[in-house]
Structure 1
């Protein structure tokens, strides 16, 4: 789903605020139906048809959301140019072999709820994103690979193991996709792993920089306070010296006046 809309498109921003949670609910529904369809091998043909209707219906609603955003945009061609990936994600899954790409839309919608203040809640963001992307990728690669000849990913456990080794960029090589759809999932997963690693690295670096700046600010404030105290002490000392000189002058005057003529 699209990134945050710039201020130049207030109608789209208002639409996002209105439907964001509804789209999130649809994404969860899509994910549950897809997981059920992939994992439950004992489904009857009628149940599979029902799940397929749910999957297709939710995907159509995502497509309608994209069309509504285009209709609300003040600069429609610019909106299309800046959201080409969304258009591709929505268009390609019309082909049965690429329907797993619909899950990218689901991940993007759910990720909206995780990425707010990602630097401040990096642990929650990373754990949530890894769990979501890993589960989705495991489902997608299992569906693509389960019945392929010479496939090494035939169970959900195999799929999860392959996903974890791939997203962590370890890649043991004991499990690997052999179908074009599975390899497409692998590429997406590798990119996601690198992106998540970049988020963690950037967040940690930002945390260090912010703490160093905060420490510098504290030191500067303390130095300013010390400097102010020194200035006050110098002023008080100067006042004391003035009083001492005045007292000394009076004593000198008394001494002179007490001397016999």
Structure 2
């Protein structure tokens, strides 16, 4: 997606910087991508692009994306090539990250310390299927609760990144809500563990929530309402599940996106 964006945009892939040449540029970036790669943040409007028109054509072919004959020809001719790293027109362009997933996690850790809770940052680039990541995080939290490793309670496990949901059902929700639903199932009501996951921009998927929250009684409360957690997960209906419980995490749009934040409290 980024490769295509760079080659089809008038400003991405370094073109904003070359259009401003010979002016000096200072980019203040808010990172919403795992790893904080300047070439990926906003598709890199002020940094060189290592991808090529041939790469863009390969993406079109790999995913059988239909486009106009004119556009394909312009890519084949190299007419839409982007400025590359080392281009002299980029020499006066400086890049700084002022907000990122890592900085958000560090801020959350500072809040935990102030509350007398030991923070453990697991990483800012967690990726993978949301329900698989949920099981892994649940396993780490269980180890903390039972054995005091890798952190002794009271502790909070902090992580960030951007998981993925393979939509196979007809339900509603987003990756953070689905991660919490899968974690609730994995934990099976363990008494010491509470968790939340949310998108820092305030919107998880296509709904009005940032994510969701779970606790030791989540499954018990759901059963009392006639809700089947596993059926909801199979239908990708985490939003419906947590909406019925009143456990959606709703912040409203924050207007700042530094990816997702997961916090698991082990009491």
TM-score (norm 1): 0.21
Higher strand share: 2
Structure with higher RCO (Cα < 8 A, 6+ apart): 2
Structure that is richer in helix per residue: 1
Larger Rg: 1
